[in-house]
Amino acid sequence: MEQSRRSFMKSSTVAGAALGLGLAGVSSSYAANEKVRAAVIGVRGRGRSHIKGFNGLPNVDVVALCDVDERESAKRVGELEAAGAVKPRTYVDMRELLEQKDIDVVSIATPNHWHSLCAIWAMQAGKDCYVEKPCSHNVYEGRKLVQAAQTYNRICQHGTQIRSSLAVREAMELLRDGVIGDLYMAKGLCYKWRNTIGKKPDENAPSGVNYDLWLGPAPQRSFSANRFHYNWHWHWDYGNGDVGNQGVHQMDVARWGLGVGLPKKAQSMGGHYMFDDDQETPNTLVSTFEYPEQKKMLVFEVRHWVSNNENVGAPGRNSVGVIFYGSEGIMVIPSYNSYKVFLGRSHEPGPANQVGGNHFKNFVDAVVANDAKILNAPIEEGHVSSALCHLANVAYRVGRTIEFDPKTEQCLNCAEGDELLTRNYRAPYMIPEIT
């Protein structure tokens, strides 16, 4: 199997078309009673939601799980067995899982620094993909992910599930129809009570954890519990801070409503305030993105402690949402599945609705129909929204306004910023050529 995995890596870096891993064995259409066979890679945290979401669909069987932490895989297998589901096979190395021809789709809920590489490998192996947000760890690999979906003709859904909310989709139509007049700005909010993570020493990785595989493309470094389960979000080598964690959902909605793509200019100011701990990413950040041709602006705020709620949350609780500003009023999207409109200077109540949706079902429907146009969150949209989060962090890290070319996806005035649009990948976990 080790030789097979080495062959996998060698083939994937040359050309996905030459990979020969299951392309002929994966169904492009399904009979009425045929089930989609799904695998989930990364089974803790969001991975549990992926398992539950797919297992709840009548035409899907979760047949395989993969995690570098074998303790977590064992827990998920037990939960599935208790629910009366098919007992899945388990893997530690995703490359071994991707060689299995009886897997149709792969759902990816690893840490951020694995998202794009895992999805590209999966599509080279002939699998359709659901990729957790943000779909990339940096701008470069996000664009490569989009190229892979196009080149290998695979269905690839981004895990920004708000796009499947019927109420929010209705809200987007209302904005297009001018319910609040001419839009000029959107403000995304991510005010979450994030306590200190404290300080923890380096130590040996726990038994049952393949730490080298967990690091993957990231630099070699000793294990620390403060850079492992969940707290990896707050370290640059693996996560993207809260703007790329919770915030990518609201960034996506804000951009969607404004009808914009990548900006011409981005700037960020903030810092890691109040706590003295191991966190590297800012816990307070104000970012702005300018669209001069459209005469629009997108503003995004991350706050971590005591704050106001700005009509998107309750006092003393998390306030997460988006506010749209127009010539005739404002629209507030305060949750994953609702919106409210307030009209005129007196803020008279306007249209409102609250209806959810099923993002996993939307993905499976597209897979069964072999039609990417069905997707509510196609990877092309996921890449742009994720890239905005990355640009916010780049502008913060270089400490200057970024002039950006949306066509080339490069900085125009900042070599240091360009370096942060990609990373140095640790062999053999390289982003492969897409041919």
Q: For residue 186, what are its two tokens?
A: 């959107």
pLDDT of residue 176: 98
- pLDDT for 313 equals 83
Q: Give the angle 412-413-416 at the CA atoms, nearest 5°.
A: 105
Residue 37 parent element (H or E): strand 36-41
CA-closest candidate to residue 281, choices 313, 246, 322: 246
Structure tokens at 409: 């996806």
Q: Hey, what are 120's tokens?
A: 């590209």
Place of tokens 């990518």: 248
In b/e form, how buried is each residue of 86-108, taking b as 16+ CB within 10 angstroms?
Answer: eebbbbbbbbbbbbbeebbbbbb
Residue ranges of the chain that CATH labels 3.30.360.10: 165-359+389-419
* Chain region(s) in the chain for CATH 3.40.50.720: 2-162
Residues 6+ apart with CB under 8 A from 131: 108, 115, 116, 119, 145, 156, 157, 158, 159, 379, 382
Edge-first strand listing for the sheet containing 338-343: 348-354, 338-343, 329-333, 319-326, 183-191, 296-303, 284-291, 265-271, 402-405, 410-411
CB 116 within 8 A of CB 90: no
Say if CB 165 and CB 141 are below 8 A apart: no
Q: Which of 103, 138, 364 is nearest to 121 (CA)?
A: 103
User: Contact, 255 vs 134, CB < 8 A?
Assistant: no
Q: Which CATH number fits domain 2-162: 1.10.3720.10, 1.10.150.120, 3.40.50.720, 3.90.440.10?
A: 3.40.50.720
CB of 388 closer than 8 Å to CB of 263 = yes
Domain 165-359+389-419 belongs to what topology? Dihydrodipicolinate Reductase; domain 2 (3.30.360)
Residue 253: count of CB within 10 angstroms of its CB: 26
Looking at residue 435, its pLDDT comes to 85
Phi, psi (5° rounding) for residue 86?
-60, 135
Q: Are 219 and 298 in contact (CB under 8 A)?
A: no
Check whether the bond before 219 is cis (ω within 30° of 0).
Answer: no
In DSSP terms, 319 is beta-bridged to 191, 313
**Does this model's pTM top 0.85?**
yes
In order along its 435 residues, the chain shows pLDDT tens digits of 444 444 444 444 433 333 333 333 344 567 767 899 999 999 999 999 999 999 999 999 999 999 999 999 999 999 999 999 999 999 999 999 999 999 999 999 999 999 999 999 999 999 999 999 999 999 999 999 999 999 999 999 999 999 999 999 999 999 999 999 999 999 999 999 999 999 999 999 999 999 999 999 999 999 999 999 999 999 999 999 999 999 999 999 999 999 999 999 999 999 999 999 999 999 999 999 999 999 999 999 999 999 998 888 888 889 999 999 999 999 999 989 999 999 999 999 999 999 999 999 999 999 999 999 999 999 999 999 999 999 999 999 999 999 999 999 999 989 999 999 999 999 999 999 998
Cα dihedral 250, 254, 255, 258, rounded to 10, equals 170
Residues 6+ apart with CB under 8 A from 401: 265, 266, 267, 395
E runs forming strands in 117-173:
128-131, 156-158
Cβ pair 409, 387 in contact under 8 A: yes
Whose CA is closest to 130, among 337, 378, 336, 384? 378
